[in-house]
Amino acid sequence: MTLPGTARAMGFVACRSCGLVSTLTDALRRGRCARCASTLHVRETASAQRTLAWLVAGMLLYVPANVLPVMHTNGVGGGADSTIFSGIVSFWRAGAWDIAVIIFIASVAVPATKVLSLGLLLWTVQRRSEWAKAHRTKLYRAVDIIGYWSMLDVVVVALTTALLQFKALGTAEPRPGIVFFCAVVVTTMVAAKSFDPRLIWDTRAADG
C-alpha cells in the first residue's frame, strides 16, 4: 500500500488545538493559527525532553504515593492506616475480588502502563525507529485516553472520609499519600499531553 505524503513533506502544518491546516509559509510568517490563534508547531518544541521530565517526576512521586498511607480509619477495634495497595488487598480478602481488580487496574496497572508506554515511545522516537509506527501511534492514543481513570482511588478516599464520620461506628481521615497519588496522576497526564505523536513518523527513512 502506498501512503499519501505527509503534510509536512507537502508544505502544510495542522493546528494541534483546532485542526485547521495552514501552509508552512503562513505558519512561518504568522506563527499562529489563522482560525484559533494558537501557536503553530511543525513539531512541539522540546516535546521529548518535556515528556521525559514529567515522566521522571511522575515516577519519583509514585514511590511516596504507594509507601505513605492514603487513609486512616478509626474503628471500634482501633485505628489503622491504609495504603493504596493494602486497600486493594483488603477488598480481595473480603471477597470483593471484582472491586479489587477495578482499583488495581486504575491505581497500579494504568500508571505503570503509562510509564512503560511513554518510556518505550520516547526511546523508539529517539532512535528514529521504523518499527510499528502505526501501532505506536495507537499506543499513544490509548495512553492518552486511559490516564485520567487513575483518579478513581482519590475519589473513593474522598467519599469515604466524607461519609465515614460516626463516633460510634468509625471515622476515616485522608493521609498525605493521597496528595502524592494525585500528583502522579497529574504529572503523568501532562507527560502524555507533552508528547507530540508526530515524532513517531520522523524516522530515518522519512528524512530520506
Q: What is the DSSP string of 97-137?
A: HHHHHHHHIIIIIHHHHHHHHHHHHHHHHHTT--TTHHHHH
- Beta carbon nearer to other proteins, 52 or 91: 91
Per CB under 8 A, the segment of 23-31, 49-57, 122-130, 163-171 that binds other proteins is 163-171
- Beta carbon nearer to other proteins, 59 or 137: 137
- Beta carbon nearer to other proteins, 39 or 119: 39
Residue 189 in the binding site for other proteins (CB under 8 A): yes
Residue 31 in the binding site for other proteins (CB under 8 A): no
Residue 35 in the binding site for other proteins (CB under 8 A): yes
Which of 178, 191, 196, 199 binds other proteins (CB under 8 A)? It is 178
- Beta carbon nearer to other proteins, 46 or 206: 206
Residue 133 in the binding site for other proteins (CB under 8 A): yes
Give me the residues that bind other proteins (CB under 8 A), please.
Answer: 3-7, 10, 12, 17-20, 35-38, 91, 94, 96, 99, 102-103, 133-134, 137-138, 141, 144, 147-149, 151-166, 168-170, 173-176, 178-179, 181-183, 185-186, 189, 193, 197, 201
